[in-house]
Chain A
Amino acid sequence: MSILRFDRWCSLAVSGIRFKPDRKEIYEELYAHMEDQYEELTAAGFSEKEAEDEVAAAMGDPKETARQLDLILRPFWGFALRAARWCLVIAAVLALIFLPRYIRMQNFHTAANGNFYGGDLETEQSYNRRVWYDEPKAQDRSDGYTFTVTRAAERYYGHELLREDFRRVLYLEIKVFNPWPWTKKCTAIREFCAVDSLGNVYPPANDTNRLSYLTAMCTRTGLFTDTWLVMIRDYRSQEANWIEVRYDKAGRHLRLTLDLRGRKETGT
């Protein structure tokens, strides 16, 4: 049996089918048909050559079969099925990428909210002394990023085991609009310091062993947004009119000035 000849016929006949995964099945069906016919003819006494010619003649023009099959087997559903599969894979990959990020974000929000509004579970003596509920609008731009202070709260922790300077903290929530979401989140907060109108200075935590310092944690909370939770420890600015978070490095300057007047007393 001329495998090559049958193969050529079948390959030509299925070549018109635009959705390639359909080709294999139809190729096999046509090939099986030729085999059956060939075997029957040889069993009936035809020589191999005669049987081959007979089969080829019976099958007709492979190009015409290709044209007919292409007219019938519209590729829409095949391609739609493939597209659906790819969508599923992409969705799974996106879930793998973004789910841990979403969980981190939720944890961050829980921690942040706890710092702004929560009590101290251990002693129940902690309270918010002053909270700015109306979103302080301190805002500045640097290097394409936009920094906005969205929440602020002074907290006092009454835990007796805490050192006095650890009991007073000013929390700031700063949203950083990041126009390049594909880059790493903006972590420049580690270089920030704070000063107030009374001259108190809170340098970044990594710069000093002082008890008064500014520290922060940051996370990506949106496609274009990073959020910083800034903690100013040993906060001694109860009488100050303003406090300013600053960045001065590599020729870049940023000022976020928070007006401390008019803040509300809350808590117990």
Chain B
Amino acid sequence: MEFDKSLISGSNAMLVLSLLKDGDKYGYEMVQELKRRSNNVFQLKEGTLYPLLHALENAGEVASYSHTAPTGRERRYYRLTEKGEQRFREKVREWRSFSEGVNTVLNAVPGLA
């Protein structure tokens, strides 16, 4: 299913931070993992992912390092920092409150169950 880009763009950072919550990953691994976890619903474009990762790194929310991937190739891994963990929790709280509000409004619409 195709989504309106504006629906997801505000949540990209939260999704990427969530991917790093259970371990360090490199870019391609993140794209694959997101696809798997969302049952192919979310497909993060690489052109979006890397600028986002570098922005998070600049903000100190993720840190990167070079490491050999299981494929035997040198890859740039990202890990969540303490600041990133904190930001992630805030984002989740924000998202939950937002989606609850949206659902409440939608549930009040007659015939939209």
Residues of A participating in the B interface, judged by any CB pair closer than 8 Å: 13, 25-26, 28-30, 32-33, 35-37, 39, 58-62, 64-65, 68-69, 71-74
In the complex the two chains form, what is the Cα distance from A58 to B58 in whole Å?
A: 25
Residues of B participating in the A interface, judged by any CB pair closer than 8 Å: 26-28, 31, 43, 45-48, 50-51, 54-55, 58, 71, 73-76
Q: How far is the CB of B5 from chain A (nearest CB, A)?
A: 12
Name the prevailing secondary structure of the B interface residues: helix
A residues less than 8 Å from B31 (CB atoms): 33
In the complex the two chains form, what is the Cα distance from A36 to B31 in whole Å?
A: 11
A residues less than 8 Å from B50 (CB atoms): 26, 29-30, 33, 65, 69
Residue of A nearest to B59 (CB): A72
Name the prevailing secondary structure of the A interface residues: helix
Using known A-B contacts A29-B76, A72-B58, determine if residue A36 contacts B71 with beta carbons closer than 8 Å.
yes
Contact B54 A64 (CB under 8 A): no
Q: How far is the CB of B76 from chain A (nearest CB, A)?
A: 5
A residues less than 8 Å from B71 (CB atoms): 36, 39
Using known A-B contacts A32-B73, A71-B51, determine if residue A59 contacts B46 with beta carbons closer than 8 Å.
yes
In the complex the two chains form, what is the Cα distance from A32 to B42 in whole Å?
A: 22
Contact A65 B51 (CB under 8 A): yes
Contact A69 B54 (CB under 8 A): yes
Which among B27, B28, B55, B76 has the greatest number of chain A C-beta atoms within 10 A? B28
Contact B54 A60 (CB under 8 A): no
